[in-house]
Structure 1
Amino acid sequence: MGRLSMTLGSILLVMALASSQDLPTVYEYYTEGGITSGLETGSNQFILNGKDITLYSGSIHYYRVVPEYWRDRLKRMRAAGLNAIETYVPWNLHEPKMGVFDFGQGGNDFSRLLDIRQFLQIAQEEDLLVILRPGPYICAEWEFGGLPSWLLRYPDIKVRTSDPIFVGHVRQYLDQLMAQVVDLQFTSGGPIIAVQIENEYGAFGEPTEIKDRVYLGAIRDAYVENGIRELLFTCDTPANSSDTGALPGYLQMANFNTDPEIQFELLKELQPGMPLMSMEYWTGWFDHWFESQHNFGNTPENFARYLQTIFNYNASVNFYMFHGGSAFGFMNGANVFDFFPNYAADVSSYDYGAPLSEAGDYTEKYTRAQELIALDNKVQTLTPSPPPQNPKTAYPAVTMQEFITYDQIIQQIPTELVIQIGSVTNMEALDINDGNGQAYGLVVYRSQIDLSTTAQLQITGRIRDVAMVVVDGEQKTKRPASQLALLGFGYWTQENSTFLLEGAAAGTNTLDVIVENWGRNNFGQPSDFDQRKGLYGELAVDGVALNDITAIPLEFKSSWVQGLTGWQTLAGGEALSGPLLLRTTFSITGAPTDTFLDMSAWSKGSIFVNGFHLGRFFHLGPLRTNYIPAPLLKEGLNEIIVFEHYLPADQLQFTDTPILE
């Protein structure tokens, strides 16, 4: 603990020495004389190309950061003293349709974020080694833990097992992914020093149960047969699952946010003589909608205290997250619990209380990590100075200018997506999108029925996840006023729920039950991964089942949103009610900067900035703002479209600081 007693002047001296132009870069130091070996496990110590190395790594997800900012964020990470970064790889984005792969050129909504090869090359250019965690399951508070929703079209599929159907798709995905990165291994002159076999597999099932090692072996084989030569490993929380999710003969690492000594002592028992590493030292935590306040995770003081304990064990560390970024679009995950409300969807910000904020700003945890790494690191390399903070602007508020009604939205859904299904079925089972079903967004279950007298709508089973009822284009469900809304109709919490239909016009009425996928579960037991969304029980009115239902997907793909027509001018003081779309434009003079939209006055929905799906908002929080990176804006005229479920505001408010509450 003596290192903690060093003065601030000593710390600054260490940092100054590390910035000396006479020092080698990380790559110069570890490749001097040529590359003969990669990362290896020596006696209680990692060795890279014959030299001892302590890994100071940080998690960053390239698909949560606009690519124009990849280099910016990586520079900040290297300036903290990190010598490596870690990233997950989201299978669901890279194979959005079965057998159709996208590594940046797919023309999909997220294609711009998916050039993993370029990201890894930039990491190397910024003097950072890479730990790659390809999945197929990643958790990451990401939609379905990164698994593609089209897997759910197989009625009896068992994900994350040796189920031949699942493993067959995993192999096809890994074959494609490895072809993108195999030549970027360290022993080939690239940045990748280690590859994860599977992720927190010990948590998948009962704690004492040995997990499916045939499945783990199949993933290992896929890597080896595709030419992966670097160190392979698994990670779990040993105190919870011991080595039940490990593959014998391969290094285990530990995930935790407190009490490193407990986890490391268990690792030492499980694999004596092996180097220790925390693959996920949780720097903060994440938020769910409906929670009362933002979860910052560890305080900076505790963060530093546990980090020092890690270093006292001569252990390596990967900060999860070092920079969280954003869950753009519909990509947020969710968690399932065995207590009320049993399900909770993650917010769109993945700030995580990390050393670098969602917008890339330095926090107190950054400073603490930077100081402790400088004290612990025995290998002095050329370390750059931290780049300046990126500017933020609170642009003037803008008034909403135009709108499209719910009926106009429905009329513009492509005809090939509108299908007759008879009785209700889950969105993944819909025979659309070249046989891949509906992945994300909302689905409308429409029926024509006489509702001129008061009637009762009945939904058998549970809603997955949130439902609105619209009759003849008019919203009948109420804007949720508090967490107490979860006790009423329209939420997953209620089984076999009912809703009173009243006030409809005489004659045949159009009844729409709109169900939103608020995010598929990303962590838990095998049963928790049955994440089919929409309705899959029975829809009835006054006890009579509706068997002539039309399914209308509301996928909100960017190209469709940008191509909408029929916008009507919004008159001053006009009272509108959702579901509807509203649009406005605003002009920026000069180069745009980062900004935040304060959505506190709105209700619930999604935001599109210049066609890009920024994410979700919800007035009950805890998140109040949506981060807009400057590269999504442009000099001159910019467009923002809001899909509002309930009651809209008449303006969009900007701020230069996030409101996470």
Structure 2
Amino acid sequence: MVSIRVFLFISALLTINVMGQDPPTLYQYYTEGGISSGLETLTTRQFTLNGKPITLYSGSIHYYRVVPEYWRDRLRRMRSAGLNAIETYVPWNLHEPEIGTFDFGDGGNDFSPLLNITQFLKIAQEEDLFVILRPGPYICTEWDFGGLPSWLLRYPGIKVRTSDPIFTGHVKQFFDQLLAQVVDYQFTRGGSIIAVQIENEYGSFGAANIQTSYLEFIRDTYVEDGISELLFTCDSAVSSGTTGALPGYLMMANFNNNPAEQFDKLLELQPDKPLMSMEFWVGWFDHWWSTHDTGLTTDRLTTNLGIIFSYNASVNFYMFHGGTTFGFLNGANSKGSFPFYEADTSSYDYDAPLSEAGDYTTKFDIIKDMVAQDNQVSTLIPNPPLINAKIAYPTVAITEFLSFEQIIQQIPADLITQIDTVTNMEALEINRGSGQSYGLIVYRKQIDIPPNAELQITGRIRDVAMVLVDGVQKTKRPEGALLLETFGYWTQENPNFTIIDPPAGTNTLDIVVENWARVNFGSPSDFEQKKGLFEGPVSVDGQVLSNLTAIPLEFKSKWVKSLTGWQPVEGAGQLQGPLMVRAKFQIQGTPTDTFLDMSAWSKGCIFVNGFNIGRFFLQGPQVTSYIPAPLLKEGENEIIVFEHYIPGTQIVFTAVPNLGRKKITN
């Protein structure tokens, strides 16, 4: 393999026509003389691209976690680190938000501006980067339901990630739409895509659940829809072996530590193939109610990357730029011990080489230096772009609010349904037969509530519940981990709650349940992800409640922008959630990136000029919420906060992110 590295170096030197001139771009070097072939594994232990040897230095970035105005900025920063490729997943749940309705940037939905995948592929090529595409349909990535659309849960007994004809039928419809968008952006057609993944970490689905026929179906769909670039699978080589792989196709390894062990196993399984880590986890993600996890230390990153390069292996850094999980789209993990379930934060900073706001970190410098030393192909690499400015705008007071009942009164009538008994949000007959995907659901009943009545819920709450009587919050602000052992959380089976001192007469009982995230990783049982209340009836002092009203709180941007009836905060007394509050502020000149400090608030979500930038929670670890400058505008700006419990009185900006107390690592 040393001779191949020398060959690469000599070839690159010969490509430079005159000493002193700039070296060629990647595309000039690998397309010189025309394109006759794509990424291949024909040469023992070495990738070739268009017949020339190539080592892939790739980084993960998700177009849907970055505002499109920053796509070029982030990609140029990645190229400046010496990377020659980027990798991205494709979120099915955003591209098909309702059954049979597809959105690739022009759907008029909240996230439509982030979904123009063809534009992203074009910009990647313009920034001299190849693309590794991972369409799923399952993508994991700490993303709600692993990217699967929640409306799949409307089918009783559906078995996702299998050859279940209902599941594969919907996958086929989606892939036909998606692949039509990207097929002409393949390298062999003059585009940027050099490789496409078959499913994702399928070996982690459990050996008993693996269906080779399902992987063959995905492969066949790719081929039928015109995909001709290199196909591959990825898993932990050590723990999964060939489980989850498709015979005859390249296997790659995912890991953060023990690269030698992973690569030795790959060499045992496919001795004549190139080595690549499709996910070299350089950081890690965070759960609410936990600490900020930075993943690999810089020393461990340096050591492990050195080992990867000693194997003459290719690498994809996951994540190179994490970005933000906007809206309600964060994922979660299940676990075998208390508290059994952990929802992910909205920040997907990941302690990545490029921070959530695109800033360079020490890990960026390490990777840049080590890639430069390992890479023997000399191509034109841009200088690192300057850091984007951050500013702490002046603090502004909350000036207006909407009570919970005012919010409910503005829910469109066609979304409010009558149900015989509690029903999961996905089963509601709304959104053109696709149910409710995200947000909160209100189960409402008019009932005479006796003093100290016992509210009994059958099964478990999915995931967090508030109880209101006549619009007044009865449940506690979640302070301290011990509260997880009380009513209102997924941890309790058949929980009950004492309703103290309800007003006399007929009351409006509201059980408000938040979908805090569907699990994105695990075995089949982890993908039974219905949300709300649905396991059994709800009763008050033994009286089973029937003929309920289901009210979805989806908080879509158009609806948030349309809200009316705002009341002045002045003179309103101590505000109590759930409610929405509003503040307005002026920006003179071009807006600048900033962060919100939510440490004085309780729990909820934030809308900046109508766009949901994510959740906040007083238990952390995430304290600040990132606002990219393109979400702001010159002139008047509006911030609306939906607060579950006790709101702050001010909107406090900061120029410095605070992702919480760091987890102690070795």
Coarse TM-score class (shorter-chain normalised): over 0.9
- In the superposition, the TM-score normalised over structure 2's length comes to 0.95
Whole-angstrom distance in 2 between the partners of 1:470 and 1:366: 49
Following superposition of structure 1 onto structure 2, how do residues 220-619 of structure 1 map, counting pairs within 5 Å? 220-291=219-290, 293-536=291-534, 537-571=536-570, 574-619=573-618
Partners of 1:451 and 1:502 within 8 A in 2: no
Partners of 1:21 and 1:382 within 8 A in 2: no
Whole-angstrom distance in 2 between the partners of 1:211 and 1:642: 44
Task: Say yes or no: does 1:636 pair with 2:638.
Answer: no
Q: Structure 1: which amino acid aligns with 2:137?
A: P
SS in 1 for 2:358: coil
Whole-angstrom distance in 1 between the partners of 2:571 and 2:359: 39
1:106 is matched with which residue? 107
Q: For 1:602-650, what per-residue CA distance to the aligned partner results, in whole angstroms no more than 9, with x for missing partners?
A: 0000000001011000011000000000000011110000000000010
1:85 is matched with which residue? 86
Following superposition of structure 1 onto structure 2, how do residues 146-161 of structure 1 map, counting pairs within 5 Å? 146-161=147-162
Partners of 1:431 and 1:437 within 8 A in 2: yes
Partners of 1:20 and 1:382 within 8 A in 2: no
Q: Structure 1: which amino acid aligns with 2:476?
A: K
Q: For 1:127-159, what per-residue CA distance to the aligned partner results, in whole angstroms no more than 9, with x for missing partners?
A: 000000001000000010000000000011000
Whole-angstrom distance in 2 between the partners of 1:21 and 1:364: 31
Q: For 1:55-100, what per-residue CA distance to the aligned partner results, in whole angstroms no more than 9, with x for missing partners?
A: 0000000000000000000000000000000000000000000110
Q: Structure 2: which amino acid aligns with 1:24?
A: P
Q: Structure 1: which amino acid aligns with 2:188?
A: T
2:10 is matched with which residue? none
Q: For 1:18-75, what per-residue CA distance to the aligned partner results, in whole angstroms no more than 9, with x for missing partners?
A: x975200000000000000000002000000000000000000000000000000000
1:14 is matched with which residue? none
1:24 is matched with which residue? 24
Whole-angstrom distance in 1 between the partners of 2:587 and 2:480: 37
1:589 offset after TM fit, Å? 1.1
Q: Structure 1: which amino acid aligns with 2:266?
A: L
Whole-angstrom distance in 1 between the partners of 2:61 and 2:556: 26
Whole-angstrom distance in 2 between the partners of 1:21 and 1:406: 66
Partners of 1:300 and 1:364 within 8 A in 2: yes
SS in 2 for 1:175: helix
Whole-angstrom distance in 1 between the partners of 2:346 and 2:239: 29
1:16 is matched with which residue? none
1:199 offset after TM fit, Å? 0.2
SS in 2 for 1:355: coil
1:35 is matched with which residue? 35
Whole-angstrom distance in 2 between the partners of 1:315 and 1:360: 27
SS in 1 for 2:459: strand
SS in 1 for 2:495: strand
Whole-angstrom distance in 1 between the partners of 2:433 and 2:626: 35
2:53 is matched with which residue? 52
Q: Structure 1 unaligned segments of length 5 or more: list them.
A: 3-18
Task: Say yes or no: does 1:124 pair with 2:125.
Answer: yes
Q: Which moved more, 1:445-454 or 1:389-398?
A: 445-454
Q: For 1:213-238, what per-residue CA distance to the aligned partner results, in whole angstroms no more than 9, with x for missing partners?
A: 10000000000000110000000001
- For the structure 1 residues 38 and 463, does the alpha-carbon distance in structure 2 shift closer, same or farther, using more than 3 Å as the test? same
SS in 1 for 2:320: strand
Q: Percent identical across equivalent pairs?
A: 68
SS in 1 for 2:325: coil
SS in 2 for 1:385: coil
Whole-angstrom distance in 2 between the partners of 1:483 and 1:289: 11
Whole-angstrom distance in 1 between the partners of 2:22 and 2:427: 62
Partners of 1:468 and 1:490 within 8 A in 2: yes
2:196 is matched with which residue? 195
1:12 is matched with which residue? none
Whole-angstrom distance in 2 between the partners of 1:520 and 1:214: 26
Whole-angstrom distance in 1 between the partners of 2:209 and 2:93: 27
Q: Structure 1: which amino acid aligns with 2:248?
A: G
Partners of 1:210 and 1:245 within 8 A in 2: no
Whole-angstrom distance in 1 between the partners of 2:255 and 2:221: 29
SS in 2 for 1:461: coil
Whole-angstrom distance in 2 between the partners of 1:452 and 1:330: 36
Give the superposed CA RMSD.
1.1
Q: Structure 1: which amino acid aligns with 2:35?
A: I
Q: Structure 2 unaligned segments of length 5 or more: list them.
A: 3-18, 661-666
1:573 offset after TM fit, Å? 7.7
- For the structure 1 residues 186 and 623, does the alpha-carbon distance in structure 2 shift closer, same or farther, using more than 3 Å as the test? same
1:574 offset after TM fit, Å? 2.5
Q: Structure 2: which amino acid aligns with 1:546?
A: L
Alignment length, in residue pairs?
Answer: 641
Q: For 1:469-497, what per-residue CA distance to the aligned partner results, in whole angstroms no more than 9, with x for missing partners?
A: 00000000010111111000000000000
Q: Structure 1: which amino acid aligns with 2:271?
A: P
2:116 is matched with which residue? 115
Whole-angstrom distance in 1 between the partners of 2:332 and 2:142: 6
Whole-angstrom distance in 1 between the partners of 2:241 and 2:341: 27
